[in-house]
Structure 1
Amino acid sequence: MTEFNEKIIDGKAFAEGLRARIAVQAAAFEAKAGRKAGLAVVLVGEDPASQVYVASKAKQTVECGMESFEHKLPADTTQETLLALIDRLNADDAVDGILVQLPLPKHLDEQTVVERISPDKDVDGLTPISTGRLALGLPGLVPCTPLGSLMLLKDRLGNLSGKDAVVIGRSILVGKPMVQLLLGENCTVTVAHSRTQNLADVVRRADIVVAAVGRPEMIKGEWIKPGATVIDVGINRLPPEEGKKKGRIVGDVDYQSAIQVAGAITPVPGGVGPMTIGVLLRNALVAAHRNAGVELADGILD
């Protein structure tokens, strides 16, 4: 089974290395700027999964030597109250990055809330200005999961120029920014989705497959071009088997069949998932350098 182990792209190990580099640069920033880089996370409501995720973000922020500002609001918080908080965080020089944990309660307008965040502090890369900068190839903050996926690809493959890539999924969180990032690396990119005709044939032509469609084990091993690199962004929980309380967590790719064919593949869990918080911290530190006018060497946090 050694050959299979060599195929596995270990996102957890890469994320650990990224956080170590962030910690070094965070200390250097503090010495130059006279303050720590600051990340504010806003949580509205009491969704258990979101609470765990936010707690993990806060813990890792502090461990990397940055300031963590947590704002936990009740589920019945009004739009006006939430927007007022974002305005205060935008004006706070101690806060370099702002993340509003999504999804929000249904009575709140997510798009309006996201648009209120200053693009200079938009560590999720979701504001219209951030997405526009990405589309134009201008410097800006990029969504965490796609950027983490790109980091894993470049770490495994090196130069991506000229490679054929297919992105399965067209969400604003992953699919669309992933396409822009791959175009920026001079890949030839095809956008596919659940309604693409002859999807298997489309996937079979690709050197790089990024699966972010949200359907458990949809992409089969027989669809994968031999030697292709597969990035599985999906996180899906299957129904529990008899006698078990929880079902298995699987990706959008049928891992067991795909690993037989792929040249490299991310597992689920342990692949792309660990990268998301690491890149969030990276974005916060990049924003801190820009906001404080402190130079950060290119590529040092990639």
Structure 2
Amino acid sequence: MVLKVSQEVREAIEAGRPVVALESTIIAHGLPRPRNLQVAQELEAAVRGEGAVPATIAVLDGRPHIGLDKEQLERVANEEGIRKLGHRDLPLAVASGASGATTVSATAQLAALAGVRVFATGGLGGVHRQWTVTQDESADLGLLARTRITVVCAGVKSILDVPATLQRLETLGVAVAGYGTDRFPGFYLSDSGHPVDWRLDTPEQVAEVMRAQDALGGAESALIVANPVPEAEQLDPEVHARVLADALRACEEQGVRGQAVTPFLLDHLVRHTDGASLSANLAAVRGNVRLAGRIAAAWAGA
């Protein structure tokens, strides 16, 4: 088998104990050194604090790893040349012996292949603004439409077209529920300004939905649990609106296109909010990881 599942994760899966998948892009590409490694260790510790086993996922020397040891985690955080891998890149990375950090789509695919049902991340990708012109849509959406995994996230990145993303998820048949809220969160913001049709208030309720998915059969689609960043830790909405408008204007003026748009906008937000957007991002990720641990425990206790 091409997957390399760590002994700890393998034993937990075989014993039916809770496991939470974690992406590695935030480690390799989302944070400066040495903070990236500190955050990676902190997130794994948060999963353990909820009684679950962390399974950070990355591709090393062409081998997808489900669960990293200390040295492997340090390698992802510090090694130059670690690529950013979506699910479309996985066959190329495996065949060429490349090393890379996994995005949402690649992490979800590999986690599902390994038998891990719960995945925690920050925010999903989605439909980009001006989609009717650019046809730019994240690969996350299509992958989640055909992958049976529960994704705990803080909604989709607020730089995207949120209502179009929600519509696209509906079209693709991906279930979306707010956790403790009737509003869809906006990554940096507790409320994107858009409602959700379903609300879940406990990890046990989430686990019940997961069991119902399996009992009903049908398409192997995901369940998105949209968990808002606490209002006290969100980015100030007025600051967010002003800086995002400036970022979108700068993007247009500088002719930034395609895959360069998202990192450009996110970097602009970090620099022009004095790091407040990054703080809100990390607050969201921490909350998602803790909730995912509780959901995994409820799922394992079925």
TM bin (shorter chain): 0.3 to 0.5
- Higher helix proportion (structure 1 or 2): 2
When normalised by structure 2's length, the TM-score is 0.32
When normalised by structure 1's length, the TM-score is 0.32
